[in-house]
Structure formats: structure tokens, C-alpha cells
């Protein structure tokens, strides 16, 4: 029997921006619960909740100050329990973010660790003495700019932070840290969550010798981080041992899963390493598609063709809370509903588990957020080159004619882009040809196709910009073809004695004479073979 997560479609919810139930301008858990009927109507299998834990919100929840508590801006632990209960009643799985690599500098563990060099948690974080000239212990850089080390006046040592200085890295070389983190995982599994999305899972361990990272040779980059090969501050071999321990915890519960976020230059290799063998993580996604500036058949083929192991299972997303929305990143200009439909169909036809980001089912373009309203520390630090995270985190548009597109009666934490109002749920709900109703129809089509859910994939040769591959499971074989370009394309395929027959998916592509695909701009077709 195929595990539920293999080939599942998971809908990512960014709680701050989904729906505000108490009109304070910030989305909350009760708001999510109120909109779960909508999520279920999409035909997805579950939801992934970005962090809702107690936090100073320097990085909007990815700086956790209490792993066991819900931040009051999102509600209460009781409201979380009700949300899980409601989701399960709608046959939706619940996956929650777990940020194990680092904590907030307001976390009690860090407050104790920094208080002295001899306390019980003195070695729970990564501390190091200054070099003789007072400089940091090595050349490691923070993803958010500047050194990955900050000086602490209490301990008179540097501490490591791969991200903000308010996000000190835990020391996973300490067995007590591992035990504490595994206890956190058990707490949420006991509350009924169905799995974890593991934030930057390849950052858990660092090189104990604190060796300098080598230079990449890059001379022109948007941020200093790209000047180094991150050989020693991430992706250490000890990580696999901890992942196996976490897997043992997950396997102690029924039908639970883990999906890792991998931030690595070796996108696919690292993802396979962390999921292969049956005793590591269940699946992983990476930034191969999320960071790519162009969408090509070669990009898709390169991303999927390396997954040859039966144990290693990929996950894919085109958009999420960290990057510019795909319809803008790959489509440019004004959002095109036809292109948005193509992206949804392509993503949901790939071999792997699928993650759809809130608003992707509406075809939302990247929002424009003026500098004075930016909230994201990364966007502010790298302005104007990087506005990706605020522009994709603006509130979900529910009702076009309501204040703030129905997200909240109060001024929201990020502004609603006026161009999103026309794409609001209530507007698209009533239009049979809308992106929203296409998404519902395609996911309903997919649900009954074993080949699309967990089948094998094999690529066919085709001229750019046409992408053709076959999905197969048992006797079911489906040919999937997508025109990634803005001009009509024809492709004649040699499929032996069989004839192609286009299936009703809502895509605009057709089949002529049983062999020739006719693909209008940004169109696709899914066909079965027959005689």
C-alpha cells in the first residue's frame, strides 16, 4: 500500500497572512480553521503550517522562543488542537514547521547558555573564542549578510548564527541538545500532527574544527554568502545520524512523515542523501526550482532524472514563503491565468510529493510592497535587489469588495496589493474558467490516477520549449506534454502501435491522428494510449 504522503498534494499556509479571525491585522489559527472548508474544496491531501510558536518575530516565527507554546498573536494551544481536529474531520493531514537548527536569542536555553561558561547549558549553542586580533573564529558568513558570528559581552565569546544574529545556532554535537529536540518532536506528534517540515535540515551540525570555508571564485553576487563554498557550516556527515534518530521517533507513531528543506548548492544530491535507505527522512525538497529564474524542459528533466532509488522520494514546489511567486518569476509582466494553470498542472504531474503555496491556486502574482512597508529583515537588508519574501507573503485575498480583500477589517501587517483583489476567491469561485476552478478540476482528475500520484517517470525527447514525459503505474500509462513557450507547437511522437487519446483535464492541448500533439502557448495535454 502506498503511504499517504507519497504523491500527496500539500497546501502551505503562512499563518500571518491567511485569514485574520479577530481583526488585529495578523492571521491566526482560528482563521485557518475557519477557512479549512475552502482548503478541502481544492482537493489537496493536507496542509503545512509555517511557524506559529512563541517568538519575538524578528524572522516572523523562524526564531522560536518556546517550542512548546503557541504565540498569542496566533491564538492558543487549545485553538491549535481544534484546528487539527477540524482538519482531520475534513480528511486533511496536518504538517507543522519545526525549526531545529537555531532558536531565538530570547529562548530560555540561550539565555542560560550565554550567562556563563560553566552553566548546565553552556555547550548547547556554538561558542568560540575570538582570534588573537579580536576577529571572529573563522570566515563563515550569515545568509542575511555579514559574519555568521556575533560577540556576546556576558560570555566574552562569539556565538554562531547562520541567519540573523537573533537566531543563534544550536550545538547538535551535544547529545543533550539532540534529546531536547527529539522531546519537542514527540510533544507535537502526541498532539496529533501528521508530520514535520524541517527548516534548513542540513544546517544542524557544523564542523567542530571551525575550518574556514573556501572561496567560490565568484566576483559579482547579490550577497556575500555566494562568495563561499559552505563546506563546513552546513551539510556535515553527522547530520545523517540525527536524521535516523528522528526517523525512529516518527516510526513510533502511525502514518507520520517528515519533509526536509535542503538549502545546498548540491540540490538533488543532498536531497537524495537525506531520504535514501528507508531509515532517514521520508522526503525532501530543495531550491532547484524555487531559485531558478527561467523555466525550461532541461530544468525539469535535470531535477527529476537523478531520483533513481526506490527509497529516496522527492518533493517539489514552484513557490513558497521564501521566494518570488513563480508566475512572476517565470512569467514576468502581468500575471497570465493560462500560464498559472500550466504551472499548476505541470507541478502536479511530476513524480514526487507536491507543495502548493497559498494563493498559487489563484494564480497570484508577486505583490508590490513599497520600501516603507517592508517587514522582512532580508528584504530590507538587500533592498532593492531582493524583495521576494514580503512580496509573496502579503494577505490572501478572499473577497474583492471588502476592506483588505476580506483578510481583515484592521490594517494588515503587510498591505494587500490592489491587483490581487480581482483574483480574490469570491471572484474566481463564480467563474468556471478561473485558475481556482481549474486547480480544483485538475486535482480531482489527478486523485483518480495512480500513475500521477506515485508512478514512475520517463522523459521523451522533444524540441524546446516542449516538455514530454510519461508517468506509469501498473497498466496505467499517461503521456504528459507541456508547452513552456508563448508560441503554438506541434510534436509528433513515436509511441509504437498505440494511439494517444487526450484526457479531459481543462488544459488546452489536443491530439491529432493519435500521434501529433498540438500545444497552444502555455498549454498542455495529458493523454492515454489505446488502440
Indicate whether 119 belongs to any domain: no
| Number of domains making up the chain | 2
Residue 387: pLDDT band by 50, 70, 90 thresholds?
Answer: low
Q: Same structural domain for residues 364 and 409?
A: yes
Q: Which one of the listed residues 45, 97, 169, 261 is annotated catalytic? A: 261
- pTM for this model (two decimals): 0.97
Indicate whether 199 belongs to any domain: yes
- pLDDT tens per residue, range 456-512: 999 999 999 999 999 999 999 999 999 999 999 999 887 765 789 999 999 999 999
Indicate whether 286 belongs to any domain: yes
Indicate whether 25 belongs to any domain: yes
Q: Same structural domain for residues 491 and 462?
A: yes
Q: Same structural domain for residues 402 and 505?
A: no
Domain that holds residue 464: 455-530
With CA atoms as reference, report the closest residue to 295 among 520, 483, 509, 469: 483
Indicate whether 158 belongs to any domain: no
Burial per residue of 76-98, b for 16 or more beta-carbon CB atoms within 10 angstroms, e otherwise: eeebbeebbebbeeeebbbbbbb
- For residues 259 and 109, what is the distance between their CA atoms, to the nearest angstrom? 26
Q: Same structural domain for residues 301 and 325?
A: yes
Q: Same structural domain for residues 361 and 387?
A: yes
- For residues 434 and 426, what is the distance between their CA atoms, to the nearest angstrom? 11
Indicate whether 28 belongs to any domain: yes
Could you write out the DSSP letters of every residue in 326-354?
HHHHHH-SS--HHHHHHHHHHHTTSSSEE
User: Looking at residue 388, what is its pLDDT?
Assistant: 66
- In Å, what is the CA distance from 124 to each residue of 80, 171, 244, 472? 29, 5, 21, 48
With CA atoms as reference, report the closest residue to 104 among 73, 72, 65, 142: 65
Q: Which one of the listed residues 199, 361, 390, 417 is annotated catalytic? A: 199
User: Looking at residue 386, what is its pLDDT?
Assistant: 66
Q: Same structural domain for residues 431 and 465?
A: no
Q: Same structural domain for residues 431 and 526?
A: no
Could you write out the DSSP letters of every residue in 91-123?
T-EEEEEE--SB--TTSHHHHHHHH-SSSTTTT
User: Looking at residue 67, what is its pLDDT?
Assistant: 98
Q: Same structural domain for residues 433 and 479?
A: no
User: Looking at residue 382, what is its pLDDT?
Assistant: 83
- 207 carries an active-site annotation: no
Compute the average pLDDT of residues 16-26.
98
- pLDDT tens per residue, range 282-297: 999 999 999 999 999 9
- 199 carries an active-site annotation: yes
- In Å, what is the CA distance from 487 to each residue of 169, 173, 465, 466? 49, 55, 9, 11
Last residue in a domain, options 388, 420, 445: 445
Residue 1: pLDDT band by 50, 70, 90 thresholds?
Answer: confident
Residue 352: pLDDT band by 50, 70, 90 thresholds?
Answer: very high
User: Looking at residue 531, what is its pLDDT?
Assistant: 57
Q: Same structural domain for residues 420 and 494?
A: no
Last residue in a domain, options 419, 445, 471: 445
- For residues 363 and 326, what is the distance between their CA atoms, to the nearest angstrom? 9
> What average pLDDT does the chain have?
96
Domain of residue 468, CATH code = 2.60.40.1180
Which uninterrupted H or E stretch holds 491?
strand 489-492
Q: Same structural domain for residues 371 and 483?
A: no
Query: Residue 517's beta-bridge partner residues?
Result: 491, 511
Residue 117: pLDDT above 80?
A: yes
Residue 378: pLDDT above 70?
A: yes
Compute the average pLDDT of residues 4-29.
98
User: Looking at residue 384, what is its pLDDT?
Assistant: 78
Domain of residue 423, CATH code = 3.20.20.80
Compute the average pLDDT of residues 28-37.
98
Compute the average pLDDT of residues 92-106.
98
User: Looking at residue 496, what is its pLDDT?
Assistant: 63
User: Looking at residue 499, what is its pLDDT?
Assistant: 87
- pLDDT tens per residue, range 410-439: 999 999 999 999 999 999 999 999 999 999
Q: Same structural domain for residues 441 and 484?
A: no
Indicate whether 247 belongs to any domain: no
Burial per residue of 475-506, b for 16 or more beta-carbon CB atoms within 10 angstroms, e otherwise: eebbbbbbbbbeeebebebebeeeebebeebb
Q: Same structural domain for residues 313 and 179?
A: yes
Last residue in a domain, options 396, 420, 445: 445
Residue 530: pLDDT band by 50, 70, 90 thresholds?
Answer: low
Amino acid at each position: 500500500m502506498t503511504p499517504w504522503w507519497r504523491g500527496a498534494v500539500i497546501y502551505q499556509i503562512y499563518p500571518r497572512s491567511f485569514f485574520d479571525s479577530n481583526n488585529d491585522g495578523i492571521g491566526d489559527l482560528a482563521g485557518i480553521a475557519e477557512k479549512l472548508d475552502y482548503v478541502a474544496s481544492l482537493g489537496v491531501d493536507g496542509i503545512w503550517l509555517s511557524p506559529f510558536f512563541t517568538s519575538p518575530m524578528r524572522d516572523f516565527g523562524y526564531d522560536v522562543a518556546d517550542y512548546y507554546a503557541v504565540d498569542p498573536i496566533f491564538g492558543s494551544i487549545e485553538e491549535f488542537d481544534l484546528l487539527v481536529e477540524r482538519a482531520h474531520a475534513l480528511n486533511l493531514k496536518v504538517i507543522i514547521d519545526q525549526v531545529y537548527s537555531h532558536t531565538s536569542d530570547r529562548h530560555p536555553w540561550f539565555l542560560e547558555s550565554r550567562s556563563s561558561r560553566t552553566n548546565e547549558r553552556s555547550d548547547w549553542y556554538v561558542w568560540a573564542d575570538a582570534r588573537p586580533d579580536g576577529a571572529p573564529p573563522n570566515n563563515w558568513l550569515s545568509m542575511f549578510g555579514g559574519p555568521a558570528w556575533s560577540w556576546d559581552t556576558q560570555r566574552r565569546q562569539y556565538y554562531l548564527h547562520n541567519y540573523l544574529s537573533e537566531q543563534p545556532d544550536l550545538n547538535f554535537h551535544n547529545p543533550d541538545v539532540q534529546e531536547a529536540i527529539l522531546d519537542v518532536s514527540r510533544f507535537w506528534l502526541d498532539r496529533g500532527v501528521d508530520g514535520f517540515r524541517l527548516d534548513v535540515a542540513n544546517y544542524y551540525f557544523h564542523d567542530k574544527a571551525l575550518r574556514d570555508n573556501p572561496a567560490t571564485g565568484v566576483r559579482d553576487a547579490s550577497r556575500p554568502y555566494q562568495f563561499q563554498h559552505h563546506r563546513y557550516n552546513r551539510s556535515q556527515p553527522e547530520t545523517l545520524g540525527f536524521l535516523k534518530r528522528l526517523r525512529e521517533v516518527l516510526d513510533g507513531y502511525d502514518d507520520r512523515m517528515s519533509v526536509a528543506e535542503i538549502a545546498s548548492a548540491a540540490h538533488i544530491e543532498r536531497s537524495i542523501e537525506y531520504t535514501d535507505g528507508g531509515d532517514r527522512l521520508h522526503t525532501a525538497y530543495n531550491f532547484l526550482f524555487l531559485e531558478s529564474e527561467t523555466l525550461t524542459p532541461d530544468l525539469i528533466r535535470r531535477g527529476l532524472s537523478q531520483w533513481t532509488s526506490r527509497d529516496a522520494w522527492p518533493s517539489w514546489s514552484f513557490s513558497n514563503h521564501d521566494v518570488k511567486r513563480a508566475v512572476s518569476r517565470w512569467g514576468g509582466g502581468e500575471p497570465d491565468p493560462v500560464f498559472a494553470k500550466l504551472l499548476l498542472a505541470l507541478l502536479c504531474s511530476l513524480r514526487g510529493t507536491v507543495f502548493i503555496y497559498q494563493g498559487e491556486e489563484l494564480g497570484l502574482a508577486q505583490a508590490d510592497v513599497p520600501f516603507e512597508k517592508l517587514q522582512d529583515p532580508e528584504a530590507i537588508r538587500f533592498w532593492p535587489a531582493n524583495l521576494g519574501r514580503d512580496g509573496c507573503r502579503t494577505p490572501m485575498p478572499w473577497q474583492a469588495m471588502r476592506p483588505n480583500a476580506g483578510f481583515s477589517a484592521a490594517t494588515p501587517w503587510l498591505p494587500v496589493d490592489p491587483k490581487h483583489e480581482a483574483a480574490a476567491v469570491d471572484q474566481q469561485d463564480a467563474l468556471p474558467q478561473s485558475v481556482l476552478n481549474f486547480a480544483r478540476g485538475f486535482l480531482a482528475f489527478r486523485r483518480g490516477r495512480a500513475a500521477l500520484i506515485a508512478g514512475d517517470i520517463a522523459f521523451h525527447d522533444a524540441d524546446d520549449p516542449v516538455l514530454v514525459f510519461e508517468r506509469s503505474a501498473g497498466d496505467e500509462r499517461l503521456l504528459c506534454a507541456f508547452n513552456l513557450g508563448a508560441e503554438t507547437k506541434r510534436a509528433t511522437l513515436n509511441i509504437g502501435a498505440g494511439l494517444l487519446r487526450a484526457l479531459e483535464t481543462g488544459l488546452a492541448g489536443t491530439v491529432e491522428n493519435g500521434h501529433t500533439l498540438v500545444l497552444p502557448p502555455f498549454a498542455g495535454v495529458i493523454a492515454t494510449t489505446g488502440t
